[in-house]
Structure 1
Amino acid sequence: MTNCSTRVLDARLLFSIIAAGIMSFSGVVVETAMNVTFPTLMHEFNIGTSLVQWITTGYLLVLALIIPTSAYLKRRFSTRSLFTTAISSFLAGTLLAAWSPYFNVLLIGRLLQGIGTGIALPMMFNIILEQVPGERLGFMIGIASLITAMAPAVGPSLGGMIVSYFGWRMIFVSLLPFLLLSAILGIKNIRQAGNLEQTSFNFGLYLLLIIGFSSLIFATSIASDFGWFSIEVLALFAICLIALTAFYKQSLNSNAPLLRVEIFRYLPYTLSTASLLLVGFICLGLGFLIPNYAQLVSHTDAFTAGCLLLPGCIIGAMLAPISGRLLDKFGAKRPILLGNASILVSVICYSLYPSELSSLLFIVFYLFFAFGQGFSMGTIMTNGLSQLPEELNADGNAAMNTLLQLAGAVGTAVISTIVATAQAADPANIAHATMLGSRHGFYVLTISAVLILCCSLKVFALIKKKQLAHA
């Protein structure tokens, strides 16, 4: 084991970050690429909107269940062994999904990919938090955000092009060279920072987490079939609330918690996490709405539908490291509030446009969202984690990444449910029904954007109050 007591930004550290980043990148690429394939998969496997969305929702649910264990896994197992497990699972899932003759087999492949990404995503940020020199921390988190933020730029257009010319299975085949490169870089360069602990795994707490997260996702997914206020949906929400409340209370009293939930006693961190989750909710909601609207309402092909997100995603990805530099130089307030305002403008434009949205309008409105996302996500994460004591950073990082994936899963499930409900009400005119359902979805995203801005303003008010108290 190499002890990284001295923080040095050398080639091995960069290659380690890139190795974990490629896996995270690949996971998000497939996630966003598969959104474009939904109409194709629905036709090939003869399934509906509420079932096909599990390709994304199921993957994100697995991420949300794996990432909470990252703080425990980091303390218990070496970083290299965790990386090896992650890349093996991801490769197995990719090969299975590429071969899958049935929808269920495809779904299992996606779940295996979720296990790999669930280990790799927090690993990338933990490597940065533990090993990067403090004066370069904001910049490197921006770079890490760039690695994963580039994936939505590549995913929809790549998925659309591959579906149009080669078939959806080639989406998975095209990942294999990148995954092999990740395996080589990671196994050769990843090193251990800090000592390992022989701690036990609390299966009781983990079971509560599984019950809570799964109940939430299933509740939002079946709402289109049973109704939001049906006994089935309300019962699942109640189970979710009971399980997560029990998880929180037992974690506070546990000697071996999966997650040190006292991080949520730091209100600026908690509000920053809420802002981050709402950005993720909007991101996945738009990622579902735009390609499906373009294909089902505007009747564009899959490649064109995927390319609608490309200009905005490229700009958003390029802004991620810039926002990190602004954070290091000027602080978090300016980039975060600028980003929040831009996101709000974007979803308001989508919501208020009175008639059918054209491809050009989709691109222009999404540019505003991507600009806001590029300035917001990495900066919100860095600012939120900086409000915690250093010994809680790993838990804070795990919680943020866990809940971000859960927010994405809920975003996809909620928005797809809203659209599916509208489609079920007017099955004879699927294009018009999809347009109405999408507009209702945009209203939900607008409310979310308002909440993001409110949370951010409260965070900076609390930080200012704390600074004045210590002056």
Structure 2
Amino acid sequence: MQRKLDAKLICSIFAAGLMSFSGVLIETAGNVTFPVLMNDFHVNMATVQWMTTGYLLVASIIMPLSAYLKRNFSSRKLFVTAATLFICGLVIDAVANQFIFLVLGRVIQGAGAGIAIPLMFNIILERTPLDKIGLLMGIGTMITAVAPALGPTFGGLVVNTLGWRYIFIFIIPVMIISLLMGIASINDESKKISHTQLDTAGFLSIALTFIGFIFAFSNLSTILQKPLMFILPLAVGVICLIIFIKHSLNTATPLINIRVFKNTKFTQGITAYFIFQVNTLGLSFILPNYVQIVNHSTAMTAGLLLLTGGLVGAVLSPISGRLLDNYGPRKPIMTGAFFEIIGGILYCLFASSLSSGKIILFYAITMMGIGLVMGDTMTASIGQLDEKENTDGNGLFNMAQQFAGAVGTAIISAIMQFVEQMSSQSSTTGKYIEAAQVGFIFILIIVLVGVYLLYQATKSVKTKE
């Protein structure tokens, strides 16, 4: 296929990107709706969390199929299927009169997103001129990065003025536009289909791995009261992961070619990518609660305080990609890593007195780092692989992102809950400040690990000519 940067390519990237954007927007906007949904459907917090967990779980399970789907179906068929699923899920959620149907709608949306997100990056990797890959990967990252910045504000405005159902109703026309854009711009490519057999054993074992791990980490906060609710699903996840690895190394057509992990720089890059994703999600959990519990402000205010930083990170993604195209990955990635460390240190130093101004500034610094790091890390790491391994590398990165989304918040939440339980403070505010301090320290530690991995991964990185 001829690599050409034209309006059709840009349109196809935005079409697939809009679906990813919509999924993350609903996920982050939905967090604001939890109290309302708990009241409307008479469910508790653990139950309402399945709005997010169900979506991430299904998306995580579908993403390992990306390499198989890419080989066996045209990009257009995959996109139309994904968009149709997503629209059906939105309609179900918009009219749901029972909580189970609300979760069902999110699960169906997760299936659509699980197909669409890897598809967007596959289109970029396959069709973009080699000297523009960094820029286009940055644009793809930007599309999805804008959603977490807008989500809390969008959710707060809609819930406070029209009601939670309109979060889904407003997204339906966006998805219809995405579908029409995709039909017009994504090539059929029917002649390139190879019709390989699905690695059923591999799919079942990796699906059970994700189910086990996600159930385990969703119960991490209650490990002291109900240890088996964490230990048993974790054991299932570990056993199934071992089965998946052994099977994949001994079959001719594995679901995902995990031998790419033999490439040290790829492994370092994807591990750092996972860590920085947990960092971002951890902050998006700690800061809104800090604003409400410690500073006694509203959820709407919390969303607005994080909006600036989120937009800064999103805008920097394509700029960082262009820097990669011109100067290689090391300079933009390590510059971003420096901002991440500075942001982490500032949170730790001022954890007991985070005013609105400090939160805006510190979050903007952190998201500058994220904008420079995330897209370029993915581009540079996949660039270490042979071209025939790109689809596997892309699928693994998207799996890492979704898995971090599923477990990252649970880990931070559990750590903070332990600290609150052991705190000697008498007030809720004092307990939360201590918990936030420990949460910030944990985040800084993993960021330092991630920065070290990026320092090693970007040494003498090869670029595709």
- Give the TM-score, by structure 2 length: 0.93
- Equivalent of 2:146 in 147, 150, 171: 150
Cα distance, 1:139 vs structure 2 = 1.0
Tell me the alpha carbon deviations over residues 368-427 of structure 1, each in whole angstroms, 9 at most, x when there is no partner.
111001000010011101111111011000011111110121112222333455667799
| CA pair 416-54 structure 1, distance change in 2 beyond 3 A | farther
**Aligned match for 1:56, one of 44, 52, 59:** 52
Give the secondary-structure state (helix, strand or coil) at the position aligned to 1:309: helix
- Provide the secondary structure at the position in 2 that maps to 1:257: coil
Contact kept? 2:352, 2:433, Cα under 8 Å: no
User: How far apart in 2 are the matches of 1:71 and 1:289?
Assistant: 36
**How far apart in 2 are the matches of 1:289 and 1:54?**
20
1:354-376 Cα offsets, whole Å, 9 max, x none, are: 42432222211111111001000
- Structure 1 residue aligned with 2:111, among 115, 135, 144? 115
Deviates more, 1:322-331 or 1:277-286: 277-286
Counting aligned pairs with the same residue, the percent is 41
Structure 2 counterparts to residues 391-410 of structure 1, below 5 A = 391-410=388-407
CA distance in 2, matches of 1:225, 1:360: 35
SS of 2:192's partner is coil
Whether the 8 Å CA contact 2:352–2:437 is kept in 1: the answer is no
| Alpha-carbon distance in structure 2 between the residues aligned to 1:44 and 1:296 | 24
Is the aligned partner of 1:388 residue 2:385? Answer: yes
Q: Mean Cα displacement is larger for which, 96-105 or 138-147? A: 96-105
Q: Is the 8 A contact 1:19 1:182 kept in 2?
A: yes
Residues 39/72 of structure 1: CA separation in 2 closer, same or farther (3 Å cut): same
1:31 to 2:7 alignment:
no
- In 2, the alpha carbon distance for the partners of 1:179 and 1:212 equals 31
For residues 45 and 293 of structure 2, the distance between their equivalents in structure 1, rounded to whole angstroms, comes to 12
Q: Which amino acid is 2:194 matched to?
A: E
Q: Deviations over 1:43-69 (max 9, x none)?
A: 444544444333223322222111110
Pair 1:154–1:53, CA change in 2 (3 A): same
Aligned to 1:9: 5
Does the alignment pair 1:171 with 2:167?
yes
Give the 3-state SS of the residue equivalent to 1:37 in structure 2: helix
SS for the counterpart of 1:199 is coil
* In 2, Cα distance between equivalents of 1:284 and 1:228: 25
1:330 to 1:47, Cα distance in 2 relative to 1, 3 A: same
Given residue 284 of structure 2, which amino acid in structure 1 is its aligned partner? G
Structure 1 range deviating more: 217-226 or 64-73: 217-226
Structure 2 vs 1, CA of residues 48 and 416 (structure 1 numbering), >3 Å: closer, same or farther?
Answer: farther
Mapping of 1:163-202 within 5 angstroms?
A: 163-193=159-189, 195-202=192-199
Unaligned runs of 5+ in 1: none
How many Å apart are 1:445 and its aligned residue? 1.5
Aligned residue number for residue 67 of structure 2: 71
Partner of residue 445, structure 1: 443
Q: Which amino acid aligns with 1:344?
A: I
Letter of the structure 2 residue corresponding to residue 20 of structure 1? A
Change (3 A) 1:302 1:98: farther
Cα distance, 1:316–1:123 mapped onto 2, change above 3 Å: same
Structure 1 contact 336–376 (Cα < 8 Å) conserved: yes
Q: TM-score, normalised by structure 1?
A: 0.92
Structure 1 outlier segments of 4+, above 6 Å: 423-428
CA shift in 2, pair 1:354/1:321, >3 Å: closer
2:372 is aligned to 375
The letter of the residue matching 1:200 is: Q
Q: Would you say how many aligned residue pairs link Structure 1 and Structure 2?
A: 461
Compared with structure 1, are the counterparts of its residues 223 and 344 closer, same or farther at alpha carbon in structure 2 (3 Å cutoff)?
A: same
Asked if the contact 2:347–2:440 (Cα under 8 Å) also holds between the matched residues in 1, the reply is yes
Tell me whether 53-62 or 18-27 shows the greater mean CA deviation: 53-62
Moved more, 417-426 or 21-30: 417-426
Relative to structure 1, the CA distance from residue 270 to residue 335 in structure 2 (aligned partners, 3 Å threshold; closer, same or farther) is: same
RMSD over aligned CA atoms reads: 2.3
441-450 vs 75-84, which moves further: 441-450
Q: Is residue 208 of structure 1 aligned with residue 209 of structure 2?
A: no
